[in-house]
Amino acid sequence: MTDAQIARLARGFCDCTLPKQEWTHGAHFATALWLILNRPEVVAERDMPGMIRRYNESVGGVNDDHGGYHETITLASLRMTRDLLAGLGTDATPAGAFAALIRSPLGNKDWPLAYWTPARLYSVEARRSWVEPDIAPLP
């Protein structure tokens, strides 16, 4: 994915014009990378929960106990994104960081299951608020 493709995804997410079918696992991470690298006024951990909820609703989704926004997965993904970026250095581009991320375990949408059991990760509690991993700590 190029820097321009990532910017298009992220801007579409931010202004709620991104088609729902394009809001994939990769698009979530591409958007996080772009926001962290290009929008210093956005504090991803603070702002993305509301942004994701708004986007979900804009495409006809819901944010409830069974679907939509998931606090634990979002915050863990942002933590892992920042960890990956720290290892790349200050000259990382969105496309370069995305390529590194996709080659890493984060490229697999089931990556959180290395840290949480499914029962814990997919619980209502984990969807609503941060829940600590019960298999292994995050790096």
31 is written with which tokens? 């958007």
The range of the structural domain enclosing residue 101 comes to 3-110
CA dist., res. 121 & res. 118, Å (int): 5
Q: Does residue 92 lie within any of the structural domains?
A: yes
- Domain assignment present for residue 71? The answer is yes
* Domain presence at residue 103: yes
In tens, the pLDDT along 29-64 reads 999 999 999 999 999 999 999 999 999 999 999 999
- For residues 97 and 32, the answer to whether their CB atoms sit within 8 Å is no
Q: Give the tens place of pLDDT for each residue, 56-104.
A: 999 999 999 999 999 999 999 999 999 999 999 888 999 999 999 999 9
Answer yes or no: is 138 within a domain.
no
**What values do phi and psi take at 40, rounded to 5?**
-60, -20
Expressed in angstroms, the distance from the first to the final Cα of the chain is: 26
Q: What is the pLDDT of residue 40?
A: 93
pLDDT of residue 89: 84
Q: Is residue 127 part of a domain?
A: no
98 in a structural domain: yes
For the chain, the domain total comes to 1
SS in 3 state form for 88-123? Answer: HCCCCCHHHHHHHHHHCHHHCCCHHHHCCCHHHHCC
